[in-house]
Amino acid sequence: MASAQKPLSFFENVSASFNTAAQFTEHPKGLLEQIKACNSVYAFQFPVRTEKGYDVISGWRAEHSHHKLPVKGGIRYAEEVNEDEVMALAALMTYKCALVDVPFGGAKGGIKINPKKYTVEQLEHITRRYTAELIRKNFIGPGIDVPAPDYGTGPREMAWIADTYSAFNPSQIDSLACVTGKPVSQGGIRGRKEATGRGLFYGLREACSQEEDMKRQGLTKGLEGKKIIVQGLGNVGYYAAKFCCEGGAILVGLVEYDGAIYNPKGLDLEAVVQHRKEKGTILNFPGATSIAKREQGLEQECDILIPAALENQITEQNAGKIKAKIIAEGANGPTTAAADSILLERKVMVIPDMYLNAGGVTVSYFEWLKNLSHVRFGRMGKRFEQTAFEKMLRAVETATGKAFTDTERTSIAHGADEIDLVNSGLEETMVNAYNEIRAIWRGNTKTPDLRTAAYINAINKIAVSYMELGIFP
Ligand code: GLU
């Protein structure tokens, strides 16, 4: 439990949630301590030449757990990056991968910079130098540690990392698998960019499909018609909002770093994006109320609040004021352990980050598999499937004497493309993982919430790995 005087650090918050869940397991103390600990942290500094001279840049890579290899997790570029944060995010990656059966340990990297303050050339230099540092200490490689995008990074940075790694390892045939989230032309996979937001939608839709759980929240079954507020209009927030709206939810509020907008009748997401492009802010969007204090944006009336920005957004200060009945965590660590206790008391249902935002790493896993197999998903089977479906359609037509329309024919006799397979694998993963966690939550009346259930599930899976390695009999 957090003390009122000194707020817990991010890593301490993750450990606090871990400890709560560990009490529901029967694993030996030593094993639990090993699972919780962050195995290795590499911290380093390097210079970058600027117009004014040199900046000394701080970088980190934390590998939280090596129970499975490679370890996996994004790289963050932000001024707030620090060692504790990188360790906490690496720990969340370990639990996240276990929950969605992605066979990796957890890791995270960070560079303490405001990317907006550097030119593209300088960012490229920083990224390539950071990669060289990781290579030097064996903190990157297809079977060792595989970074990906996170806050402040994207496909462009991943392409620089892959290119640098390949240049240092010219004879390594699998070198492209050293990083995921690459542009499709550089060995990336279709659907990776949208994956976290899409995965959030699949997870939230699954949670809302449980009538009993919705009733407990005073809500009806299904995502359709539910009012949502999204914090953060970055990659995760934008796609989460887009897919949830396509699934029937109504976007009533958006919260950004400089304030919020709210309209109980609904906001047009694309129009807001266009407005921000023109004005540099979401504020003063026509027809919506502008709220200068972003904290107040989170406290507006809605059914579901989706924090999809940074950590520590829902704390003991504002947890009592949140009106949402469901919090769907798109960001990593948006709710502190102290806020969790308040939300639990207030019967707010929290769908935890390490499950709900696992869509990104799930599709990263598919990208890694694609890179190792050196073939695009769907390439071998698509035409074969299509021909088989067409034969079936013709057989049905002969048997019934009725012809299918062209639209029916194209939609039924369609062989799977890469994007179809990626989305189907993602949906299957998110739905299964939710039901596993929910079974723990509802199966044992003492499990207080979904976060604890998720930790229990992750701990159990990691414990099996350690036991099968023979480290803990
Ligand atoms: N940075 C993302 C996360 O926090 C993705 C990690 C990955 O794809 O490895 O889950």
Span 458-469, average pLDDT: 93
**Tokens representing residue 361 in the block:** 């790493």
The second-level CATH assignment, the architecture, of 41-186 is: 3-Layer(aba) Sandwich (3.40)
Distance 157 CA to ligand 1 centre (A): 14
**Residue in 125, 140, 217, 219 with CA at minimum distance from that of residue 180:** 140
**145-184 pLDDT per residue, tens:** 999 999 999 999 999 999 999 999 999 999 999 999 999 9
**Tokens representing residue 297 in the block:** 């944006």
Confidence of residue 91 (pLDDT cuts 50, 70, 90): very high
**324-378 pLDDT per residue, tens:** 999 999 999 999 999 999 999 999 999 999 999 999 999 999 999 999 999 999 9
195-356: CATH topology: Rossmann fold (3.40.50)
Distance CA 232, CA 448 (A): 28
Task: Decide if pLDDT at 472 tops 80.
Answer: no
Residue to mutate, 63, 69, 96, 196, ligand 1, most ligand atoms under 8 Å from C-beta: 196
Q: Does residue 96 have an active-site annotation?
A: no
Q: Which residue minimizes the CA distance to atom 8 of ligand 1?
A: 361
Distance 357 CA to ligand 1 centre (A): 8
Q: Which residues pair with 410 in a beta bridge?
A: none
Distance CA 269, CA 10 (A): 31
Span 8-20, average pLDDT: 96
CB-based burial label for 47 (10 Å; 0-12, 13-18, 19+): exposed
Task: Decide if pLDDT at 225 tops 50.
Answer: yes
Ligand 1 atom nearest 364 alpha carbon: 8
Task: Decide if pLDDT at 51 tops 80.
Answer: yes
Ligand 1 atom nearest 75 alpha carbon: 1
DSSP category for residue 333: S
Span 415-441, average pLDDT: 98
Task: Give the model's pLDDT for residue 2.
Answer: 46
Confidence of residue 7 (pLDDT cuts 50, 70, 90): confident
Q: What residues line ligand 1, using a CB cutoff of 6 Å?
A: 72-74, 148, 150, 180, 332, 357, 360-361, 364
Residue to mutate, 76, 89, 150, 363, ligand 1, most ligand atoms under 8 Å from C-beta: 150
H or E element at residue 433: helix 418-443
Distance CA 283, CA 436 (A): 41
Task: Give the model's pLDDT for residue 164.
Answer: 98
Task: Give the model's pLDDT for residue 197.
Answer: 98
CA angle 4, 338, 318 (to 5 degrees): 90
Ligand 1 atom nearest 192 alpha carbon: 8
Ligand 1 atom nearest 74 alpha carbon: 1
Find tokens 């696992």 and name the residue. 358
Q: Any idea which of 6-15, 196-205, 267-276 has the lowest mean pLDDT?
A: 6-15
Distance 181 CA to ligand 1 centre (A): 9
Mean pLDDT of the chain: 96
Distance 85 CA to ligand 1 centre (A): 14
How do 289-291 and 259-262 pair as beta strands?
A: antiparallel
Q: Are 359 and 197 in contact (CB under 8 A)?
A: yes
Distance 362 CA to ligand 1 centre (A): 9
Q: Which residue minimizes the CA distance to atom 9 of ligand 1?
A: 73
Distance CA 230, CA 373 (A): 37
Ligand 1 atom nearest 104 alpha carbon: 9
Distance 76 CA to ligand 1 centre (A): 10
Task: Give the model's pLDDT for residue 1.
Answer: 47
Span 392-413, average pLDDT: 96
**Tokens representing residue 322 in the block:** 């949140």
**259-280 pLDDT per residue, tens:** 999 999 999 999 999 999 999 9
Task: Give the model's pLDDT for residue 261.
Answer: 98
Q: What are the residue ranges spanned by the domains of the chain?
A: 41-186, 195-356, 380-468
Ligand 1 atom nearest 332 alpha carbon: 4
Residue to mutate, 182, 235, 364, 367, ligand 1, most ligand atoms under 8 Å from C-beta: 364
Distance 93 CA to ligand 1 centre (A): 7
Instruction: Please check whether the two domains, 41-186 and 195-356, share a CATH topology.
Output: yes
**110-125 pLDDT per residue, tens:** 999 999 999 999 999 9
Confidence of residue 4 (pLDDT cuts 50, 70, 90): low
Task: Give the model's pLDDT for residue 149.
Answer: 97
What string of DSSP letters covers 207-253? HHT-HHHHHHTT--SSSTT-EEEEE--SHHHHHHHHHHHHTT-EEEE
Q: Are 304 and 204 in contact (CB under 8 A)?
A: yes
Residue to mutate, 93, 95, 140, ligand 1, most ligand atoms under 8 Å from C-beta: 93
What string of DSSP letters covers 345-362? HTT-EEE-HHHHTTHHHH
**Tokens representing residue 132 in the block:** 């060289």
Task: Decide if pLDDT at 404 tops 80.
Answer: yes
Q: Determine which one of 36, 72, 108, 242 is catalytic.
A: 108
Q: Are 203 and 356 in contact (CB under 8 A)?
A: yes
Length of the chain: 473
CA 316 to chain centre: 24
